[in-house]
């Protein structure tokens, strides 16, 4: 097995390639599932009335708390914890054996069911989630696992849990793998570990997970400019599965080699070229500036003028004008979204749609090698300050964003079957999260802190 945390790196790479490689700037495709046997064994703690005997000579343990403070994992002592900031509101945690337990590697995460990492498609059950996350964890790592079902311990505060075990293979090396998955009404939680036989056997004797739902709510006074910037891209980060800028920096800080990062760099370059026409550093800055000064917002305002909307035209009258033109449905929906946005936010109209994507392309640009981290963050700060000038709250920013998505996609927010409605539902769920991305203070002073 590899010395470094293969699961953390592979899962991060899998998510980032999903985010970078789509032809539209969002990643709406699913993930191939790992092959798993049917008839998963659920936890049977309720049926076990006898007190279990305490094993002798248990290995030393340590608590590893997630960076968002929502859960902790008890596992073998001395593991190296690496927090991967996938997007605002939650993070993935890697646990690596380093020299003390060579080859031991694991990931854990907790995510809301309404915003599963990587826009993973139709996940309707805990089994679906387990298949998705195990496939993601081992993709690009060179590790393969033949999973079978095993008994899962109960996790207090959850509705159900399952567990899988299997033989892990990497080249000519063999080891063991163990996956634990649980769900409550709102979220999924998982821990997946691989390593040599002895280490995994010891880990299984002591592994446990505890939900920390009593963790204090986000203190708006402690949140900073980076949190604000992260919140601006939170919706698309959730769809794509990661904040490319912060995740790529974390991989670099974790001393990933050039060969390990090469696939991400190439994919970021291809995404910028294919979706944005960005081929180099100059193109990147030009595109970011266009989003902040003109973007689709200016295009929408110009089109509204062409159809006679002067800022005072009543909606019914404007609707009648559109009906007379015999427009196709997509164009009709797009223009009504632009009208509603202008009515609500004037010249700001759908500017939030443009401003939110500055962070996305700058993240791609950093991963592609077209700018430094500092340069990317400086441009993101400009976008954040512009957002504060145009809007009074996260609620307004998000409404403008959704109008912009409807304008761009030509899909109605009122059509429950549309991707626009799905995007609106995602925004609503994030706004309801006590520790979510939109809990940060909209009116904070934005300063350079990197």
pLDDT tens digits for 317-332?
Answer: 999 999 998 899 999 9
What is the spatial distance between Cα 1 and Cα 210, in angstroms, rounded to a whole number? Answer: 28
- State the DSSP code for 276: I
What is the spatial distance between Cα 446 and Cα 229, in angstroms, rounded to a whole number? Answer: 9
Global pTM reads 0.77
What average pLDDT does the segment 172-191 reach?
91
Q: Which of 15-29, 176-190, 411-425, 426-440 has the lowest mean pLDDT?
A: 15-29
What is the spatial distance between Cα 448 and Cα 75, in angstroms, rounded to a whole number? Answer: 38
Structure tokens at 425: 């539902």
pLDDT tens digits for 41-98?
Answer: 344 333 443 444 455 688 999 999 988 788 899 999 999 998 887 766 667 888 999 8
Spatial strand order in the sheet of 61-65:
61-65, 71-76, 208-211
Structure tokens at 75: 């596992």
C-alpha radius of gyration, the chain, whole number: 24
| 360 half-sphere exposure, CB direction, 13 A CA radius | 30
Q: Is the pLDDT of residue 433 over 90?
A: no
* pLDDT for 54: 54
The mean of the pLDDT values for the chain is: 84
Q: Is the pLDDT of residue 126 over 70?
A: yes
Selection from 95, 96, 55 nearest residue 72 by Cα: 95
* pLDDT for 136: 80
Q: Give the pLDDT band of residue 250 (cuts 50, 70, 90).
A: confident
78's torsion region: left (phi>0), alpha (psi -120 to 50) or beta? left
Partnered with residue 63 across adjacent β-strands are 74
What average pLDDT does the segment 360-371 reach?
96
What average pLDDT does the segment 250-264 reach?
80
- What is residue 169's three-state secondary structure? strand
Q: What angle do CA 162, 163, 168 make, to 5 degrees?
A: 155
* pLDDT for 113: 78
What is the spatial distance between Cα 2 and Cα 7, in angstroms, rounded to a whole number? Answer: 10
């Amino acid at each position: 097995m590899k010395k470094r945390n293969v699961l953390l790196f592979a899962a991060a790479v899998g998510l980032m390639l999903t985010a970078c490689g789509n032809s539209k700037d969002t990643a709406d495709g699913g993930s191939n599932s790992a092959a798993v046997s049917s008839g998963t064994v659920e936890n049977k703690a309720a049926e076990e009335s006898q007190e279990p005997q305490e094993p002798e000579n248990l290995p030393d343990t340590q608590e590893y708390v997630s960076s968002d403070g929502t859960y902790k994992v008890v596992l073998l002592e001395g593991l190296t914890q690496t927090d991967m900031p996938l997007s605002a509101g939650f993070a993935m945690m890697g646990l690596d054996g380093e020299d003390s337990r060579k080859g031991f590697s694991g990931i854990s995460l907790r995510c809301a069911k309404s915003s599963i990492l990587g826009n993973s498609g139709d996940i309707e059950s805990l089994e679906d989630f387990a298949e998705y996350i195990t496939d993601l964890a081992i993709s690009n790592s060179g590790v393969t696992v033949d999973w079978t079902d095993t008994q899962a311990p109960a996790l207090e505060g959850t509705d159900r849990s399952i567990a899988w075990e299997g033989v892990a293979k990497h080249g000519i090396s063999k080891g063991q793998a163990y996956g634990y998955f649980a769900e409550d009404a709102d979220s999924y939680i998982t821990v997946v570990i691989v390593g040599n036989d002895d280490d995994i056997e010891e880990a299984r004797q002591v592994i446990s997970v505890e939900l920390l739902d009593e963790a204090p709510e986000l203190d708006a006074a402690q949140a900073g400019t980076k949190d604000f910037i992260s919140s601006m891209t939170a919706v698309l980060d959730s769809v794509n599965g990661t904040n490319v800028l912060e995740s790529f920096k974390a991989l670099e800080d974790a001393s990933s080699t050039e060969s390990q990062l090469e696939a991400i760099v190439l994919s970021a370059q291809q995404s910028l070229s294919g979706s944005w026409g960005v081929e180099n550093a100059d193109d990147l800055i030009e595109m970011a500036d266009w989003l902040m000064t003109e973007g689709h917002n200016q295009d929408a305002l110009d089109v509204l003028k062409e159809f006679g909307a002067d800022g005072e035209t009543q909606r019914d009258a404007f609707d009648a004008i559109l009906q007379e033109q015999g427009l196709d449905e997509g164009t009709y929906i797009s223009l009504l979204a632009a009208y509603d946005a202008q009515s609500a936010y004037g010249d700001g109209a759908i500017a939030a749609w443009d401003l939110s994507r500055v962070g996305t392309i700058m993240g791609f640009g950093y991963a592609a090698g077209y700018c430094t981290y500092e340069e990317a963050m400086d441009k993101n700060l400009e976008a954040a300050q512009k957002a504060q000038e145009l809007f009074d709250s996260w609620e307004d920013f998000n409404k403008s964003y959704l109008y912009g998505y409807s304008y761009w996609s030509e899909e109605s927010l009122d059509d429950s079957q549309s991707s626009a409605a799905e995007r609106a539902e995602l925004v609503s769920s994030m706004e309801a999260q006590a520790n979510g991305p939109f809990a940060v203070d909209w009116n904070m002073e934005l300063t350079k802190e990197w």
